[in-house]
Amino acid sequence: MNLRSVVPSLIGFAASCSIIVQPVAAEEAVKPNILLIVTDDQGYNDAGFQGSADIETPNLDRLAEQGVVFTDAHVSATVCSPSRAGLMTGRYQQRFGHEANLPPPNLGMDVEEVTIADVLGEHGYKTAVFGKWHLGEKERYHPNNRGFDYFHGFLGGSRSYFPADFPPGHPRAMMKNREHAPLTERYLTDIQGDGVVRFLEELNEDPFFIFLSFLAPHTPMEATEEDLARFEGHPRQILAAMMWAMDRAVGDVVGKLEEQGKLENTLILFLSDNGGSYFNDSSNEPLKGWKGNKYEGGHRVPFFVSWTGGINGGRTFDGLASALDIFATSMAAAGVEETPGRPLDGVNLLPFLTGEKDGEPHQKLFFRKEEGAAMRDGDWKLIRLEDYGYVMYDLGDDLGETRDLSEENREQFLSMKSDLESWEEGLAEPWWEESRAWQDVTRGIHKALMNNEEPDRVRP
């Protein structure tokens, strides 16, 4: 396992200023295609390229080997919907009230926010999203109104992987653009891969931006009989089968890109939308925590960038990075010099990948959802749980977050506490709250972890 080995250099934090992203080359160049692959609730350890000994992901491993694997990359939220809102906008989603999970039927991602698809579409990209949306169910939040030319998926946060009778307009119903397109056969993950392949076959021109948004391995834990048979006797049989199917779909897409001669000029970014869930048998080793809490296991995720025509692969990058950076990185690759809309919180990663810049993309990162908040300052980690207090860890010596140093290193603690409170002053009021049942479960798990105890595995 590749772990962080050095204390980061100071890099300016860009939360309060507009970010200008530079094109890869000053002269006019062929714009790369961009493929963004996001899994759902994948464990930090649950891929071959992450060191897993029992989860097989040969296609992802091949891409990771050709690219750069980030060992200290984070999403901006530890649950699905706000994490995706940050990813799509390149901004801390708390700035526009998208803080809690599970948006109510009448709300979604603020329509005043500019999305990565908006910008790429304006610069000649054909844009498409396949799979889970989870950023609002009303028409104004529909992917076709948020910059995507094509949508094949479902608007909600989860659904069965097999055919199910969801009526038109149901958040779990499958759609093609705005039309009801029920899943009548086969397995959802396979359908997603096939959909991207067909899109590539029918696409008459480049460049494209494809957001392949897998539901796997999010619950419900469902896999095909064939995939289950492959992993008969496996201690995590269903999860292994689900990950195998997801990896197979990635292989189908990459195979089509190779067949079309497009792989070399395709920027591929892969990550999970948050840490592995406490309820899907995932493994976040060697990290502490899971989806929904502010330990590293909740927001540090598998992440790699592969672009054989643009960066040298076959290596790891230990700098502190964020899913917020995908927006600015994609803009830079596309040759967009200035991002429109509100100031970004993410930075362009390409100079760090090409060697033009040394050090860390970020010195500080911040996290908050309702009661829980946290921040990173280099290797230092601060966590706050309302009515419980603060803990602080040095991840350089204690990646498992077991030894609270908030009293022993008081100056560092007070500095981070002040930074976190200052960041919170610029945030919007949350537009909605979690259900009380989920708040209770999340708080119970988080509190147990703060006491270095084993939480109860109870779903609401």
Which residues are catalytically annotated? 80, 134
How far is CA 420 from each of CA 157, 382, 426, rounded to the nearest angstrom? 29, 9, 11
Burial of 160 (0-12, 13-18, 19+ CB in 10 A): middle
Query: Strand 150-154 relative to strand 33-39: parallel, antiparallel, unpaired?
Result: unpaired
Q: Are 110 and 429 in contact (CB under 8 A)?
A: no
Find out whether 46 and 282 touch, Cβ atoms under 8 Å.
yes
What are the distances in angstroms from CA 196 to CA 152, 193, 288, 435? 9, 5, 35, 35
Tell me phi and psi for residue 193, to 5 degrees.
Answer: -60, -45
Provide the 10 A C-beta neighbour count for residue 284. 24
CA distance from start to end of the chain: 34
Adjacent-strand bridge partners of 380: 377, 394
Q: Give the separation between CA 186 and CA 161, rounded to whole angstroms.
A: 9
In 295-375, alpha helices (H): 296-299, 325-333, 350-354
CA atoms 331, 336, 338, 339: torsion sign:
negative
Scored b (16 or more CB within 10 A) or e, 172-197 reads: ebbbeeeeeeebeeebbbbbbbbbbb
CA–CA gap between residue 178 and residue 397 (Å, rounded): 51
Residue 456 has what DSSP assignment? Answer: P
Residues 6+ apart with CB under 8 A from 169: 180
